[in-house]
């Protein structure tokens, strides 16, 4: 007997992806394809040397570098970058780095309409989404706008060989979280569910291999491929409780983005998966386990991730504010979320109740 396919709407995002070891060399070609001749190269201060190198590859098509990108795209940094783009008469940006740098490219695109080429060097997945974010006075605003979706994304696993192992692990779990929530999203669809399952499978293989040998190009390629798939899921669906909580914990309590995702994910999975059986089945297949929350908690800790929200700076006194913000804002979730249930979930994460 076959089960009827639930109804769905699938709105494909236009995405051009160039993937492969050494593909950074393709950026001049990507710029040319888009008709861009005056690119501003963006990076964080930490990745300045990489920005220099990208600028060198672009030759005359690089008109400057802005290397002050920062976590959660501070509004004053975005304003300075827009000014730099205008003063350089740039006709586009090349954002090379993690979610913070790609977020800066999106902020420039939102203000000026300039197209962005992205070269991701973490597994956060921002390059695959039309979601922008800007932080001002301790509050992060986010929105969706097709104009900020990068026109071309160049994934070069060689650029991730130096991503520190702890960041590789938590950034990888950040990507897995996108796939988990895409699998039970109200706007899930068959193609996205396939991508989500395969993305999780790819990362589940790659992350232990990276911990064993951070310089394995095979492991780095598998992880980046998984990150691409999971990022595409994030871009195509509506996220639920997990992403809402991470947004609050990052925006209001300044907890580190990827660590927060990693610590929280097993607990939200334990809460939501009983109400999302198809998602649970897909994750069981991808992770080769019968107990998805236990597997996520155990493997993340075995790979060196933090064990609890207390480990990354949250306190018991902060919980009421998180609960009040989370229940005060409407969002999709496969299970209704009450204040009591949320407090109990957060108390468990605070103390690492699922940690082995
Ligand atoms: P990040 O971009 O803040 O990077 C952290 C640090 O690591 C930076 O100093 C960076 O320069 C450095 N780094 C990055 N790649 C490196 C590499 N390969 N080798 C050595 N150092 C490297 O961290 P992130 O986790 O990628 O991004 C987090 C930010 O992205 C958050 O602000 C989050 O909200 C945002 N984000 C947005 C979306 C979206 O769709 N809009 C999706 C995911 C994340």
Is the C-alpha dihedral spanning 62, 64, 68, 69 positive or negative?
negative
Last residue within a domain, chosen from 160, 175, 210: 160
Compute, in angstroms, the gap from residue 7 CA to the centroid of ligand 1: 35
pLDDT confidence of residue 251: 83
Distances 307 to 178, 209, 241, 287 between C-alpha atoms, Å: 20, 21, 20, 20
306 falls within a domain: yes
Q: Is the CB of 334 under 6 A from ligand 1?
A: no
Q: Is the CB of 124 under 6 A from ligand 1?
A: yes
How are beta strands 152-155 and 17-19 bridged, if at all?
Answer: parallel
Both 212 and 341 in one domain: the answer is: yes
Both 86 and 209 in one domain: the answer is: no
Q: Is the CB of 120 under 6 A from ligand 1?
A: no
pLDDT per position as a tens digit, 105-128:
999 999 999 999 999 999 999 999
Higher pLDDT pick, 251 / 194: 194
Contacts of 326 (CB under 8 A, 6+ apart): 241, 244, 245, 248, 337, 342
Q: Write the DSSP assignment of 257-308 as a string of letters.
A: HHHHHHHHHHHHHHHHGGG-HHHHHHHHHHHT-S-HHHHHHHHHHHTT---S
Both 308 and 181 in one domain: the answer is: yes
Closest ligand 1 atom number to CA of residue 247? 34
Both 342 and 266 in one domain: the answer is: yes
Tell me the CATH number at 337: 1.20.1090.10
Residues 58 and 31: beta-carbon distance below 8 Å: yes
Both 183 and 108 in one domain: the answer is: no
pLDDT per position as a tens digit, 136-152:
887 788 999 999 999 99
Start-to-end CA span in the chain (Å):
41
Both 146 and 176 in one domain: the answer is: no
Mean pLDDT of the chain: 96
- Which stretches of the chain are DSSP H helices? 27-33, 48-58, 75-87, 99-112, 165-183, 190-212, 217-236, 241-251, 257-272, 277-287, 292-302, 319-328, 339-351
Residues 183 and 193: beta-carbon distance below 8 Å: yes
Mutate which of 71, 146, 221 to test ligand 1's pocket (most atoms within 8 Å of Cβ)?
71
Total Cβ atoms within 10 A of residue 2: 4
Q: For residue 187, is pLDDT > 90?
A: yes
Both 56 and 141 in one domain: the answer is: yes
Q: What domain range is 141 assigned to?
A: 17-160
Confidence of residue 15 (pLDDT cuts 50, 70, 90): confident
Pick the residue whose CA is nearest to atom 27 on ligand 1: 99
Residues 339 and 295: beta-carbon distance below 8 Å: no
Last residue within a domain, chosen from 160, 191, 220: 160
Both 123 and 178 in one domain: the answer is: no
* Distance separating alpha carbons of residues 236 and 26, to the nearest angstrom: 26
pLDDT per position as a tens digit, 222-267:
999 999 999 999 999 999 999 999 999 988 898 999 999 999 999 9
Average pLDDT for 186-211: 98
pLDDT confidence of residue 138: 72
Q: Is the CB of 122 under 6 A from ligand 1?
A: yes
110: its two tokens:
């939102």
pLDDT confidence of residue 3: 67
Q: Is the CB of 236 under 6 A from ligand 1?
A: no
Percentage of residues in the chain having pLDDT higher than 70: 99
Partners of 356 in the β-ladder: none
Distances 343 to 255, 306, 346 between C-alpha atoms, Å: 18, 20, 5
Both 263 and 169 in one domain: the answer is: yes
Residues 286 and 176: beta-carbon distance below 8 Å: no
Q: Is the CB of 152 under 6 A from ligand 1?
A: no
pLDDT confidence of residue 137: 83
Average pLDDT for 258-282: 98
260 falls within a domain: yes
Q: For residue 1, is pLDDT > 70?
A: no
* Distance separating alpha carbons of residues 118 and 133, to the nearest angstrom: 16
4 falls within a domain: no
Q: Give the closest residue to 337 by CA, choosing from 287, 250, 275.
A: 275
Compute, in angstroms, the gap from residue 346 CA to the centroid of ligand 1: 25
Average pLDDT for 346-351: 98
Q: Is the CB of 299 under 6 A from ligand 1?
A: no
Last residue within a domain, chosen from 110, 136, 160: 160
Mutate which of 98, 130, 249 to test ligand 1's pocket (most atoms within 8 Å of Cβ)?
98
Tell me the CATH number at 86: 3.40.50.1970
Q: Give the closest residue to 121 by CA, choosing from 78, 195, 65, 171.
A: 171
Both 204 and 73 in one domain: the answer is: no
Q: Is the CB of 99 under 6 A from ligand 1?
A: yes
pLDDT confidence of residue 329: 85
Give how many domains the chain has, as a whole number: 2
pLDDT per position as a tens digit, 45-93:
999 999 999 999 999 999 999 999 998 899 999 999 999 999 999 999 9
Both 111 and 217 in one domain: the answer is: no
144 falls within a domain: yes
């Amino acid at each position: 007997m076959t089960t009827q396919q639930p109804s769905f709407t699938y709105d494909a995002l236009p995405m051009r992806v160039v993937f492969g070891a050494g593909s950074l060399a393709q950026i001049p070609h990507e710029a040319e394809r888009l008709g861009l001749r005056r690119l501003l190269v963006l990076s964080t201060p930490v990745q300045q040397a990489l920005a220099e190198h990208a600028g060198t590859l672009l030759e005359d098509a690089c008109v400057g570098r802005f290397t002050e990108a920062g976590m959660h795209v501070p509004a004053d940094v975005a304003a300075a970058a827009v000014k730099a783009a205008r003063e350089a008469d740039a006709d586009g940006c090349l954002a090379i780095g993690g979610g913070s740098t790609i977020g800066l490219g999106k902020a420039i695109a939102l203000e000026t309409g300039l197209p962005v080429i992205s070269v991701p060097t973490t597994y956060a997945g921002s390059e695959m989404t039309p979601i922008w974010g800007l932080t001002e006075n301790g509050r992060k605003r986010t929105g969706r706008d097709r104009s900020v979706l990068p026109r071309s994304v160049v994934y070069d696993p060689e650029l991730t060989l130096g991503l520190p192992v702890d960041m590789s692990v938590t950034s990888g779990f950040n990507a897995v979280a996108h796939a988990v929530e895409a699998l039970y999203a109200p706007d899930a669809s068959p193609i996205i569910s396939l991508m989500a399952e395969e993305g999780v499978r790819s990362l589940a293989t790659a992350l232990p291999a990276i911990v064993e040998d951070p310089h394995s190009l095979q492991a780095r390629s598998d992880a980046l491929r998984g990150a691409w798939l999971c990022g595409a899921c994030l871009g195509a669906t509506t996220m639920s409780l997990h992403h809402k909580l991470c947004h609050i914990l990052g925006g209001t309590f300044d907890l580190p983005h990827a660590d927060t995702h990693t610590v929280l994910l097993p607990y939200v999975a334990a809460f939501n998966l009983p109400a999302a059986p198809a998602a649970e089945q897909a994750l069981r297949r991808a992770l080769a386990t019968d107990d998805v929350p236990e597997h996520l908690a155990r493997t993340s800790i075995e790979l060196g991730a933090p064990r609890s929200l207390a480990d990354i700076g949250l306190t018991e006194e902060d919980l009421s504010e998180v609960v009040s913000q989370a229940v005060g804002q409407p969002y999709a979730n496969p299970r209704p979320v009450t204040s009591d249930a949320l407090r109990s979930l957060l108390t468990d994460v605070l103390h690492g109740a699922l940690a082995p």
